[in-house]
Amino acid sequence: QLMEITWYGLSCFRLTGRGQASIVTDPYDNSLGLPPLKLRGDVVTVSHDSPGHNNEAAVSGRKYALTGPGEYEIGGVFITGIATNENDHSLANLLFVFDFDGVTIAHLGDMAKVPTQTKIEALEQVDVLLLPVGGGNSLNAAQAAELVSMLEPRLVVPMHYSIPGLKAELDEVDRFLKEMGITPPEEEATIKVTASSVSEETSVVLLAPKIKS
């Protein structure tokens, strides 16, 4: 099963698999300085209720908006929403794990700190980790790198970092790449993943934000 991942900046991705529900994560609104989002998708997931993450109206064709923890099966995709950031004073947050017929993708939302062991266990089988790396209200470069070494996902896709036009105080992705000890890879337009195409070794893929200015 081939699936495709496209990034629109901040924490917004579109995940599509042939014959399966298409999913848009954390659509942002126009106050963030990036061009307005115009996306189609069957399912919208919202990690937390703030303008950088909850603009459901930007996604046409949406049939479901997932804003709470739970287990869902929609259009052939198994989706698990798990609350994080509890017991501290930061914003509530949900991480979502998507299973597209054997390819497992986790979107951590604005996870604020390296999670507890129970949450770690839910993430241990993840192929693709959509990982906040730019600080702000979420993981900074050092915390993000620590989480990668704990989880050993096959692909890491950094998100929630500084890009041109974005009005949010976030670090550049280079800081995370330094923590990981890797030279900046070329930016890809999209990622295509199958269960057999993800390597055993962890690799980091940088996506170019698909932004129509």
Residue 66 pLDDT = 97
Residue 201 pLDDT = 85
Residue 197 pLDDT = 82
Residue 86 pLDDT = 67
Rounded to 5 degrees, what are φ and ψ at 206? Answer: -95, 125
Residue 140 pLDDT = 96
Residue 89 pLDDT = 57
**What pLDDT digit, counting tens, does each position of 147-164 carry?**
999 999 999 999 999 999
Residue 175 pLDDT = 97
Stretches in the chain below the pLDDT threshold 70: 86-90, 213
**Token pair 């798990």 is at which residue?**
82
Q: How far apart are CA 203 and CA 89, in angstroms?
A: 33
Residue 179 pLDDT = 97
Alpha helices for the chain (secondary structure H): 117-123, 141-151, 173-180
